[in-house]
Amino acid sequence: MELTVLSISFAVLLVLGVPVAFSIGLASVATVLFSGMPIAIVFQKMVGGMQIFSFLAIPFFVFAGELMLYGGIADRIVRFANSLVGHVRGGLGMSNVIGCTLFGGVAGSPLADVSAMGSVMIPLMKKEGYDADYAVNVTTHAALVGALMPTSHNLIIFTLATTGIASVSVFSLILAGVIPALLLTICNLIAAYYVAVKRGYPTRGKFPGWKEVVVSFLGAMPGLLIVVIILAGILSGIFTATESAATAVLWALLVTVLVYRSLSWKDFLKACAKACKTTGVVLLLIGISSAFGYFMALYEVPQKTGELMQSVTTSPWMIFLMINILLFVLGTFLDMAATILICTPIFLPIAQHFGMDPVQFGIVMLINCALGLNTPPVGVTQFVGCAIGGVSVGQVMKSILPFYGALTACLMLVTYVPAFSLWLPNLLNAPK
């Protein structure tokens, strides 16, 4: 009966429009009151859930991303991407994909990626004769790669969500996301080119020459080096994954203040405020989700969900497909961090039981959550892209199929071919 109270109260609060964090917290309190347990349990689990050293990486990674966002690296990345593929058919769309991928590696956030790259590329694409729905779809789907990048704080959140279930190191997850991120980028490039050819978009000028490619790359390189520094530093043992986040902030300050000289004091304060706000939201959600997770474990939600799934089918392929569908659907309603924190304790044990590695599951989880960010009714990245492009969500959804199809194909490959996510961690003997 307590599980029914927990589930129904959470669902009702979400339907009423109560923010996710408060829906989780109030549902937990309602369950405690109904069961007669001391209400102090909720607060003990909340505080305990936030007292993990690895959480220090979250505010630092968020702050580094905000500094890069306000520091003007997007313009330099756009110039470099344009020099590479801007001259081919649909070149601006493909430049957008490459630019979003590179900026995603710097910022580690799909939303920041859409905000920064979309503000530059969507108006430019419209000016050059591209349809607004195409410009928005290219930008919002390409930006999803940021969820898998080394600077993504969602990688940290997933590793912490696995506590007590499996042992997953941040470094393993960072390495596991590299090849899927490249695969997502290739799928986005194919989709962008296919739609450009189908709509008959013209070519745009000639190849500017390798000199322009080199010059534009050198201009963007200081900002892009942040990914190399994180990977090389952790791999060489110079610093831990948590310390790499602080290093990312120092490098972001160095690049934006001393190299580019593009970060004003006003923008620095904006970056600080935005990072504090985002960190506060994430940590509150983590703390409350710890209490929620305690009740899910207490009432054996993972076991009961697994039994329900196995009553339908015992095929690992079908089980993984069902998990993907459920993660995607939940991701359309919940914030990325909320989906990770709520769903990992439920679905990870099931996935492990049917032979999926926890690291591979983490990448599958992140791709599903990223796709959910681009899907109504919540669809945060899509709404931001539509606002920048001045086009309705309905119009964008009408032409979304090629992009969805490409990314869904990528998701299926990562789900059913473990090597895409596990080859690099195994090659470098990354700790589990």
Cα 366 to Cα 23: distance, rounded to the nearest angstrom = 22
Taking phi over 0 as left and psi of -120 to 50 as alpha, with beta for the rest, 300 belongs to: left
Please name which of 120, 105, 108, 119 lies closest in space to residue 223, comparing C-alpha atoms: 105
Exposure of 408 by Cβ count < 10 A (0-12 exposed, 13-18 middle, 19+ buried)? middle
Tokens of 137: 């779809």
| The predicted structure's pLDDT at residue 24 | 80
| The predicted structure's pLDDT at residue 378 | 66
| The predicted structure's pLDDT at residue 323 | 92
Contact 186, 267 (CB under 8 A): no
Please name which of 117, 188, 110, 118 lies closest in space to residue 149, comparing C-alpha atoms: 110
Please name which of 305, 295, 412 lies closest in space to residue 349, comparing C-alpha atoms: 305
Cα 102 to Cα 93: distance, rounded to the nearest angstrom = 14
Per-residue pLDDT of the chain in tens (432 residues, 90 and over written 9): 777 888 888 888 878 878 777 888 888 888 888 878 888 877 887 777 777 666 777 788 888 888 887 887 777 887 888 787 777 777 888 888 888 888 887 777 888 888 878 888 888 888 888 899 999 999 999 988 988 988 788 888 898 888 778 888 888 898 999 999 999 999 999 999 999 888 888 777 777 778 888 888 888 888 888 878 887 887 777 877 778 888 888 988 998 888 888 888 998 999 899 888 888 877 887 787 777 777 777 777 777 777 888 888 888 999 999 999 988 888 877 778 888 888 888 899 989 989 999 999 999 999 998 888 888 766 778 888 888 888 888 888 888 899 999 999 999 999 999 999 999 998 887 666
Cα 237 to Cα 234: distance, rounded to the nearest angstrom = 5
pLDDT single digits (tens) 122-160: 888 888 888 999 999 999 999 889 889 887 888 888 988
**Cα separation of the two ends of the chain:** 38
| The predicted structure's pLDDT at residue 361 | 96
Task: With H, G, I as helix, E, B as strand and everything else as coil, classify residue 73.
Answer: helix
Please name which of 368, 360, 359 lies closest in space to residue 417, comparing C-alpha atoms: 360
Cα 323 to Cα 325: distance, rounded to the nearest angstrom = 5
Q: Within its chain, how far is the Cα of 76 from the centroid?
A: 23
Q: What is the DSSP letter of 146?
A: G
Domain extents in the chain: 54-289+300-427
pLDDT single digits (tens) 157-176: 898 888 778 888 888 898 99
Tokens of 203: 């070519």
